[in-house]
A and B are shown apart, each in its own frame.
Chain A
Amino acid sequence: MAEKHFVPKADREYTKADFTSDQMVKWCPGCGDHAILAALLNTFPKTNHKKENICMVSGIGCSSRIPYYVDTYGFHSIHGRACAIATGVKLANPALSVWVSMGDGDSMAIGGNHLIHAVRRNQDFNITIFNNEIYGLTKGQYSPTTKFGQVTKTSPYGTIDYPFNPGELVMGAQGTFYARALDCLPQLTTDIMTRAAKHDGTSVVEVLQNCMIFNDKTHAAITDRAVRDDRTIILEDGKPMIFGKEKNKGLRFNGRCLEAVTIGENGITMDDIMIHHEDTEDTGIHMMLARMSGDLPVAIGVIRNVKKTSYTQLYEDQMEEQMANGKYKCVDDLLNSGDTWEI
């Protein structure tokens, strides 16, 4: 069936100011959440969705306060349940552009079940995961993404929990859109979110975000200006996977795994460098890219973006078909259906 777009288009051009709420933003000064909020406010005008039809849904945690700071409809719900609530919002009214915001604990610990099932269904809404690898609002306990061995308030001798990699989780759940952004690259984050909005299906954008108070510099090993270009790679669809300050490093597949190579060294040329294809249906390479760390640069950008008919479309198609051709047109028909008799 033909692809449909359910969200009405805006009748005028919006700016960031149209989406900025009058509420005082109460995040800590310097928190990465401010940058994500700004990216989101910059994204909404670009989606060209009617303002009244945008609905923010969040769970619990610092990041989940975001609906108050955005002048749209918003639902600040309960811990872990944002995806479940968003599912109902979108099912009840597919004309809404639904945006879910969650932290790492919210989305992958208490709400892990809802996240994987939302991703599996591929309903048409957008998920942003603020990943600061810590529980911030409860003041510094380890989360499902805290680095192994890290000392936190609830792991005084170091964590012995192996962390989740959100990208792997999303792709393991058959996700159709997964991207990774950095709070310190707001323009890139906006671009990624804009692409997420255009994706028909569930999009997941993980933003590596800094918590100054309880997990400061947790991403510094890749985000510090001094190392960022060498420790990260910004993936672009159809382009070679090049990174590094000098743009002379690249990724190649050596038959067993990905490896970082330097162009011009050991006979390596541009022809050896892999080209990024977001739309490869098989998750294999995308998984490898999402997993890169250590000797390999951390992948930033849209890692996976494949077409798969969304749950929203499948649901609306069934509704339309049944409402047009179903047996009963009204409840009176149903009440009088089958065996009935007069007394």
Chain B
Amino acid sequence: MATEQITKIDDIVVRFAGDSGDGMQLSGTLFSDASALTGNDIATFPDYPAEIRAPHNTIAGVSGYQVHVGNHIYSSGDKCDILVAMNPASLKSNLKWAKKGATIIVDIDTFTDEALEKAGYTENDHPFTDEMERAYTIIKAPVTSFTQRIGNEQGADKKTADRCRNMFALGIIFYATHKKLDQTYAYLERKFAKKPEVVKLNKAVLTEGYEYADKLEVMHSHIFEIAQADSMPKGRYRNITGNVATAWGLLAASEKSGRRLFLGSYPITPATDVMVELAKHKSLGARVFQAEDEIAGVCSAIGASYAGALACTSTSGPGLSLKSEALGLAVMVELPLVVVDVQRGGPSTGLPTKTEQSDLNQALYGRNGEAPLVVMAASSSANCFYWAYNAAKVALEHMTPVILLTDGYLGNGSQLFRIPKMADMPDIKPRLATPNDPNYRPFRRDPVTFAREWALPGMEGLRHRVGGLEKCPDGPLSTDPENHALMVHNRQEKVNRVANYIPDQEVTGDPDAELLVVGWGGTSGALTLAVEEMNKEGKKVAYTHFNYICPLPKNTGDILKKYKKIVVCELNNGQFAGYLRTQFPECPMTQYNKIMGLPFEVGELKAEFERLLAK
């Protein structure tokens, strides 16, 4: 081995890009898992097309997976330090995500005239100009030919060998990040336990990639040792995606509350994995029902809630639209219900695989009549666990539907998750009625929370009817004008009073800040980092991030009134800003919006905040 020059760095961003089907999501996952297991903090961001296998070698078919690894990681990173491009199309479409001076690893075997043309390169615009070579360190690795040679040696057919190309690239990345291969060997042995020949081939290709890098002079000055996650709280950790964390949060709430978990859902990108995950856990009592449509998903959940389950439905924007009428019913019958909306780019089918925060208005207002419900939002992949748990707790204790907003970025992205102990999770006390209570009335309310009691079919002496028609507090139908006004008021008041049970909103950053940055939901990673960096530079910026959206924390107004300048940052055209303005019209707010199906970048946020400070 030649003399290596190892550079110690705080963090690194690696982006894997290739054709859909090239195994980029797997390479990214294996790299992030191995990093996490060797003590780094991580955040990942899969960036994939809606098509399963778009035409080979086209831009439409490029699938990406970005991994941010380091000491304390908030987001999946703006731009990458290392870009892996498995074909010309992936280089063409992903170069914009590479930092100046980044290392770019390409499978040079794929850069044929035909593939270059398909990717949109021309004679005047070819990938390896002098300018390119000066701006980046480009490693032209013969990935396909090396992989096929190993395949030949092991008697594998071309197709099987080609499927392992991603392992070659991964081997190079492991070398460049000074990591060992054992972890990934073990994974391959587990994953393909029944196919020893596949294990052997993948391991050989992975090793070959690693050794190829070792023999490459230029790589010796491009080895990075990434800082360990030593600033994180002590504890037992695992890697988790937002959608899995959401599913587990619901399971945890079910166990804690003693209520059966029911999920009625219909497959929809990017929310499907919540259902896929829960479907695995019948042993923990999860009752999952794949419904015939979105409406049946939510209606089955409402039925399950009537029958006493912790009932949930998971969906994304268009699905939430379909569930609107039933959500009005859930508001009217005042049953606990958790609706998980993993937001994606809209309207309509929009950008199914891209992230956005544009369902907020729909969550807040998308029903006929006065139909208030609780809206909350998770802000990291890992804290989806706690917010799902919390959504269930509020639903069960306050007898109300709760919409939990996550998004494609949180749902598909992954992060380190400090594993909690169930014993430490807060209690959940459903408001169950007492059988044979002579004073039971369907809409009798707790004087403090205004929540009604939950009488379950099967309980003796509590037979009653619920439904979408207006009722009086004793239960029967009523079209009385005063009664309607009262019931509308009570349903609103019940939701408002949830604010008495949520913690005060916190502000971080410079205490004498001129500018308050406001965010909500899935953008907290980039916003936190932007504000932290600016504070380090001595800039007077503070930051507050909302998870409780409706109702808002009670001190929200006090916070907003303190600052001369407020900027509300969100991945939509200003829905939260509009919501805050209606509640706090006396607080002037500007807004910073991005509506490109992409998460915020720290760089663009800082530039905007600088501009506002200078104004």
CB distance from A99 to the nearest CB of B (A): 11
Task: List the 6 shortest-distance A-B pairs measured between CB atoms, nearest first.
Answer: A326-B283, A88-B303, A76-B467, A88-B300, A84-B299, A322-B282
Report B's interface with A, CB cutoff 8 A. 33, 36-37, 39, 229-230, 232-239, 248, 251-252, 255, 260, 262, 264, 281-285, 287, 289, 291-293, 295-296, 299-309, 311, 325-326, 329, 333, 419-422, 456-461, 463-469, 476-477
B-contacting residues, A89-136, CB 8 Å:
89-93, 95-96, 113-114, 117
Question: A339 near B33 (CB under 8 angstroms)?
Answer: yes
Scan A11-34; emit 1 where CB is below 8 A from any B CB, else 0.
Answer: 000000000000100000000000
* Partner among A75, A89, A336 whose Cβ is within 8 Å of the Cβ of B236: A336
Question: A343 near B234 (CB under 8 angstroms)?
Answer: yes
* Partner among A51, A53, A72, A77 whose Cβ is within 8 Å of the Cβ of B329: A77
Scan A132-146; emit 1 where CB is below 8 A from any B CB, else 0.
Answer: 000000000000000
17 further contact pairs, Cβ within 8 A, besides A73-B464, A117-B296, A343-B234? A52-B460, A55-B307, A72-B463, A78-B325, A87-B264, A88-B306, A88-B311, A89-B457, A92-B260, A92-B309, A334-B284, A335-B422, A340-B236, A340-B238, A341-B39, A343-B39, A343-B232
Question: A318 near B307 (CB under 8 angstroms)?
Answer: no
**Chain A residues with CB below 8 A from B468, complex form:** 60, 76-78
- Bound complex: CA A332 to CA B456 (Å): 29
Question: B251 near A75 (CB under 8 angstroms)?
Answer: no
Question: B287 near A342 (CB under 8 angstroms)?
Answer: no
CB distance from A155 to the nearest CB of B (A): 26
Q: Which interface residue of A60, A73, A336 has the most chain B CB atoms within 10 A?
A: A73
**18 A-B pairs (CB sep. < 8 Å):** A74-B465, A75-B303, A78-B326, A78-B468, A84-B291, A85-B299, A87-B264, A87-B289, A88-B301, A88-B311, A93-B307, A96-B458, A325-B283, A327-B283, A328-B281, A334-B284, A335-B252, A343-B234
Query: In the complex, what residue of chain A is closest to B417 when comparing beta carbons?
Result: A335
**Chain A residues with CB below 8 A from B291, complex form:** 84, 87, 117
Q: Which interface residue of B299, B305, B464 has the most chain A CB atoms within 10 A?
A: B299
A306 beta carbon closer than 8 Å to chain B: no
Scan A313-343; emit 1 where CB is below 8 A from any B CB, else 0.
Answer: 0010011001101111111101110111111
**Chain B residues with CB below 8 A from A86, complex form:** 303
Q: Given the known A-B contacts A85-B299, A87-B296, are A68 and B236 also in contact in the complex, defined by CB atoms under 8 Å?
A: no
Question: A88 near B289 (CB under 8 angstroms)?
Answer: yes
CB distance from B546 to the nearest CB of A (A): 27
- Bound complex: CA A86 to CA B39 (Å): 49
A250 beta carbon closer than 8 Å to chain B: no
Question: A331 near B248 (CB under 8 angstroms)?
Answer: yes
Question: A73 near B282 (CB under 8 angstroms)?
Answer: no
* Partner among B33, B39, B304, B422 whose Cβ is within 8 Å of the Cβ of A91: B304
Question: B237 near A57 (CB under 8 angstroms)?
Answer: no
Question: A88 near B302 (CB under 8 angstroms)?
Answer: yes
Question: B296 near A331 (CB under 8 angstroms)?
Answer: no
A286 beta carbon closer than 8 Å to chain B: no
**Chain B residues with CB below 8 A from A335, complex form:** 238, 248, 252, 419-420, 422
Question: A68 near B477 (CB under 8 angstroms)?
Answer: yes
Question: A340 near B283 (CB under 8 angstroms)?
Answer: no
**Chain A residues with CB below 8 A from B301, complex form:** 88
Q: How many A-B residue pairs have CB under 8 A?
A: 208
Question: A53 near B235 (CB under 8 angstroms)?
Answer: no
A200 beta carbon closer than 8 Å to chain B: no
**Chain B residues with CB below 8 A from A23, complex form:** 476
A304 beta carbon closer than 8 Å to chain B: no
CB distance from B287 to the nearest CB of A (A): 6
Question: A328 near B467 (CB under 8 angstroms)?
Answer: no
Question: B292 near A117 (CB under 8 angstroms)?
Answer: yes
**Chain B residues with CB below 8 A from A89, complex form:** 303-304, 306-307, 457
**Chain B residues with CB below 8 A from A117, complex form:** 291-292, 296
Question: A78 near B329 (CB under 8 angstroms)?
Answer: yes
**Chain A residues with CB below 8 A from B232, complex form:** 343
Query: In the complex, what residue of chain A is closest to B187 when comparing beta carbons?
Result: A339
Question: A85 near B467 (CB under 8 angstroms)?
Answer: no
Question: A81 near B229 (CB under 8 angstroms)?
Answer: no
Question: B300 near A73 (CB under 8 angstroms)?
Answer: no
**Chain B residues with CB below 8 A from A91, complex form:** 262, 287, 289, 300, 303-304
CB distance from A124 to the nearest CB of B (A): 14
CB distance from B299 to the nearest CB of A (A): 4
Query: In the complex, what residue of chain B is closest to A340 when comparing beta carbons?
Result: B238
B-contacting residues, A137-162, CB 8 Å:
none
**Chain A residues with CB below 8 A from B460, complex form:** 52
B-contacting residues, A30-75, CB 8 Å:
51-55, 57, 60, 67-68, 71-75
- Bound complex: CA A225 to CA B74 (Å): 79
- Bound complex: CA A62 to CA B440 (Å): 28
- Bound complex: CA A334 to CA B463 (Å): 38
Question: A84 near B329 (CB under 8 angstroms)?
Answer: no
Question: A319 near B282 (CB under 8 angstroms)?
Answer: yes
- Bound complex: CA A330 to CA B464 (Å): 34
- Bound complex: CA A208 to CA B237 (Å): 63
Question: B311 near A92 (CB under 8 angstroms)?
Answer: yes
**Chain A residues with CB below 8 A from B33, complex form:** 339
* Partner among A67, A326, A328, A343 whose Cβ is within 8 Å of the Cβ of B237: A343
Question: A332 near B300 (CB under 8 angstroms)?
Answer: no
Question: B422 near A326 (CB under 8 angstroms)?
Answer: no
Question: B37 near A339 (CB under 8 angstroms)?
Answer: yes
Query: In the complex, what residue of chain A is closest to B418 when comparing beta carbons?
Result: A343
CB distance from B421 to the nearest CB of A (A): 7
- Bound complex: CA A23 to CA B477 (Å): 10
**Chain A residues with CB below 8 A from B230, complex form:** 343
Question: A92 near B39 (CB under 8 angstroms)?
Answer: no
- Bound complex: CA A315 to CA B262 (Å): 13
* Partner among A72, A331, A338, A339 whose Cβ is within 8 Å of the Cβ of B252: A331
